[in-house]
Amino acid sequence: MNTPSQTGRNAPDRQAYYDRIARHGMAPLWESLHSLVPREPQPRAVPALWKYDEVRPLVMQAGDVISAEEAVRRVLILENPGLPGRASITSTLYAGLQLILPGEIAPSHRHTQSALRFIVEGQGAYTAVNGERTTMRPGDFIITPSWTWHDHGNPTVDEGGEPVVWLDGLDIPLIGHLDAGFAENYPEATQPVSRNEGHSFAAFGHNMVPVRHRSTDPTSPIFSYPYDRSREALDRLFRQGELDAWDGVKLRYVNPATGGWPMPTMATFLQFLPAGFAGRTYRNTDATVFSVVEGQGTARIGDSTFQYGPRDTFVAPSWAPVQLAATQDAVLFSYSDRPVQAALNLLREERI
Q: Minimal distance in Å, beta carbon 306 to ligand GTQ?
A: 23
| Count of residues in contact with ligand GTQ, rule CB under 6 A | 9
Residues with Cβ within 8 Å of residue 10, at least 6 apart in sequence: 4
User: Binding residue for ligand GTQ (CB under 6 A) from 68, 75, 324, 330?
Assistant: 75
Q: Minimal distance in Å, beta carbon 148 to ligand GTQ?
A: 10
Q: Is 64 helix (H, G, I), strand (E, B) or coil?
A: helix
Question: By CB under 6 A, is residue 115 in contact with ligand GTQ?
Answer: yes
Site string for ligand GTQ, 124-153 (x = CB under 6 A): --------------------------x---
Q: Minimal distance in Å, beta carbon 168 to ligand GTQ?
A: 3
Q: Minimal distance in Å, beta carbon 204 to ligand GTQ?
A: 23
Q: Minimal distance in Å, beta carbon 118 to ligand GTQ?
A: 12
Q: Minimal distance in Å, beta carbon 40 to ligand GTQ?
A: 31
Nearer of residues 96 and 339 to ligand GTQ, judged by Cβ:
96
Closest CA to 73 of 105, 45, 48: 105
Site string for ligand GTQ, 219-258 (x = CB under 6 A): ----------------------------------------
Phi (first) and psi of residue 148, to 5 degrees = -100, 140
Nearer of residues 170 and 249 to ligand GTQ, judged by Cβ:
170
Q: Minimal distance in Å, beta carbon 337 to ligand GTQ?
A: 16
Q: Is 344 helix (H, G, I), strand (E, B) or coil?
A: coil
User: Binding residue for ligand GTQ (CB under 6 A) from 89, 116, 165, 170?
Assistant: 170
Element (H, E) at 289: strand 288-294
Residues with Cβ within 8 Å of residue 4, at least 6 apart in sequence: 10, 13
Q: Minimal distance in Å, beta carbon 98 to ligand GTQ?
A: 6
Question: By CB under 6 A, is residue 44 in contact with ligand GTQ?
Answer: no
Q: How far apart are CA 260 and CA 264, in angstroms?
A: 8
Question: By CB under 6 A, is residue 168 in contact with ligand GTQ?
Answer: yes
Residues with Cβ within 8 Å of residue 271, at least 6 apart in sequence: 234, 247, 248, 249, 250, 251, 331, 332, 334
Nearer of residues 88 and 98 to ligand GTQ, judged by Cβ:
98
Closest CA to 121 of 136, 141, 142, 106: 136
Q: How far apart are CA 107 and CA 109, in angstroms?
A: 7
Question: By CB under 6 A, is residue 341 in contact with ligand GTQ?
Answer: no
Question: By CB under 6 A, is residue 96 in contact with ligand GTQ?
Answer: yes
Residue 265: exposed, middle, or buried by beta-carbon count in 10 A (0-12, 13-18, 19+)? Answer: buried
Q: Minimal distance in Å, beta carbon 175 to ligand GTQ?
A: 11
User: Binding residue for ligand GTQ (CB under 6 A) from 14, 51, 73, 231?
Assistant: 73
Nearer of residues 110 and 338 to ligand GTQ, judged by Cβ:
110
Q: How far apart are CA 118 and CA 240, in angstroms?
A: 27
Q: How far apart are CA 243 and CA 326, in angstroms?
A: 13
* End-to-end Cα distance, the chain: 49
Binding positions for ligand GTQ, rule: CB under 6 A: 73, 75, 96, 98, 111, 115, 150, 168, 170
